[in-house]
Amino acid sequence: MEQLGLSYIAGTARAAGLTAEIVDGALEPDRYDATLREMRDGDHQLIGFPIYPETVRRVAKDVAGLRARGIGTHVAVGNHLATLHDRAVLRDFPQFDSAVRGEGELTMVELAKSLSVGEDPDGVLGLTYRRGAELHRNPSRPNMPDLDQVPFPARDTLLLVLRAGNAPLIYSSRGCNFRCEFCSVHNYFKAAPNGAWRGRSPKNVVDEMEFVSRRYGVHEFAFADEQFLGHGRQGVQRALEIAAEIVRRRLEVKWYVETRASGVTYDVFAPLRQAGLSAVFMGLESGYDPALKQMRKGLTSARSVAAIDVLKELEILPSAGFIMFRPDTTMEELRYNLDFLDHVGCIELTALVTAMRVYHGTALEAQLRSEGRLSGTYYDYEWSFLDPKVRECYQVVMESADTLSVAYNEFARFRRTGLVSYVECLKLQRAMNAAPIAIMRDLVEAIEDEGREMPDVRARARTAFRDACDDFLHLLRFVEVCAGHRPEDSGVRLLSPMYLC
């Protein structure tokens, strides 16, 4: 997908009269490697990388290669990792010159201008940088209060994304006021003033959608907002006004959002559906209320079920984040989670093997460290299970993770063809999920039976998962052949493939 952080920085830089180039290593690996290989000292004033726990070592290795060839161009890194661990990143990776904290558009523009005239960047807010052998930390830059004033992101990589079958991203808001224990979003934005949730105006949002639609001929969009509905009545009203503006302009578009299940009601989502809302991602995380309370979700399993029921009634595709295994997961929690997944029937099959990730700057990180259950570094954490039986279950089911992924990916591919109706998709997904959920229930029981030999339990589970997924793949191929022979005018085809899902 598009890396909107880079796109916004490039758009802002160009609006300020600077030249900016985006080279996306995920979308264009050959071009990325060639750029590094052919770069000469002095070609650029500034190079910026977004860094993640999964990529920081790769980026550091690439920059070290530039340094070895005598390229002294200033290299800045940004994103959550650089914001919440700025000093540690610069200490551990001396090939980086600075860390941009928080929203990076204005910081990168000011840094580039400072470097171009040889000035010390001590006046650039939101920057931590090397000054000789020491690290200098400038004051934080306030988050931008009026997002309508930010130039639209540069769409340099959009054609590549479209060729890959995906949709353009839209950021209609920034921030999240909730404080889930495992999430770093709140702390990232709160690291600077004006860190609360902020939304663009409906007109500004739909202006961008209309511009991208007309220029690139696209009719599907994925909203990348951390919390599309915002907070309180004002956020809901903004969402409704975005939908009304889409309808008023007669834009024939489909779109996808991420939001909290607590905000999903029929009265709000029916108008959004009328305006083209096709899919909703919700971080449900668990079907066990004590776990939801510990995670500070401000949500109950019953409310999650109610949200899914609303989406089903409106024929909006529900998608969910789910955390089957946490450091404190109990066997009872696993049973509740399996019952929940079985009841709703429409959560990704791969939820069976999802484990909580520990992110830097979170309450979970602090808790596990205080308990002595966290190892590794801030960019590569590992944690230990409280219950050894849960750990055993996790290890067994993870041996079949690839098998479950193949089944789900094939289902998702078939769903994108648009050969079957919304209701048929849900029935097919329930058929896919049923057997693996039952197998995992048996696994939980077997592990609790201390008289069972674990090598036998592991072997039987692997075989059962494999056979269940093979059976589903045969069923899927049969359904695909049958659906492909239905008349075009049968009225059951989807209007267009749901590329987002």
Assess contact for 343 and 304: CB atoms under 8 A: no
pLDDT of residue 500: 31
- The encoded tokens of residue 402 equal 């690839």
Residue 410: closest CA among 350, 341, 487: 350
Phi–psi pair at 198, nearest 5 degrees: -135, 135
Number of other CB atoms surrounding residue 454 within 10 Å: 13
Residue ranges of E strands in 105-219: 127-131, 134-137, 169-170, 173-174, 198-199
Find out whether 282 and 264 touch, Cβ atoms under 8 Å: yes
Task: Please report the DSSP string for 230-254 in residue order.
Answer: -SHHHHHHHHHHHHHHHHHTT---E
User: Which tokens sit at 13?
Assistant: 């830089």
Q: What is the pLDDT of residue 453?
A: 78
Question: Which amino acid is residue 69, in one-letter code?
Answer: R
| 217 CB burial (10 A radius; 0-12, 13-18, 19+) | exposed
Please, what is the angle between helix 266-274 and helix 301-313, to 10°? 40
* One pLDDT digit (tens) per residue for the chain, 501 residues: 899 999 999 999 999 999 999 999 999 999 999 999 999 999 999 999 999 999 999 999 999 999 999 999 999 999 999 999 999 999 999 999 999 999 999 999 999 999 999 999 999 999 999 998 899 999 999 999 999 999 999 999 999 999 988 999 999 999 998 889 999 998 899 999 998 999 999 999 999 999 999 999 999 999 999 999 998 899 999 999 999 999 999 999 999 999 999 999 999 999 999 999 999 999 999 999 999 999 999 999 999 999 999 999 999 999 999 999 999 999 999 999 999 999 999 999 999 999 999 988 899 999 999 999 999 998 989 999 999 999 999 999 999 999 999 999 999 999 988 888 899 999 999 999 999 999 999 999 999 987 677 888 999 999 999 999 999 999 999 988 888 877 665 554 443 333 333
Nearest to 278 by CA among 4, 5, 10, 500: 500
Helices of type H across 41-199: 56-68, 80-84, 86-92, 105-116, 158-163, 185-190
Decide if 82 contacts 99 (C-beta within 8 A). yes
Q: Are 353 and 401 in contact (CB under 8 A)?
A: yes
CB 112, CB 13: distance < 8 Å: yes
SS3 of residue 345 by DSSP: coil
State the pLDDT at residue 501: 33
- Taken in order of first residue, the domains within the chain and their CATH numbers are 4-137 (3.40.50.280)
Residue 178, classed as helix, strand or coil, is coil
Question: What is the maximal distance between C-alpha atoms in the chain?
Answer: 74
Q: Which residue has the tokens 């306030």?
A: 142
- How remote is the C-alpha of 104 from its chain's centroid? 19
| pLDDT at residue number 451 | 64
Element (H, E) at 220: strand 220-223
- Cβ contact 338:368 at 8 Å: no
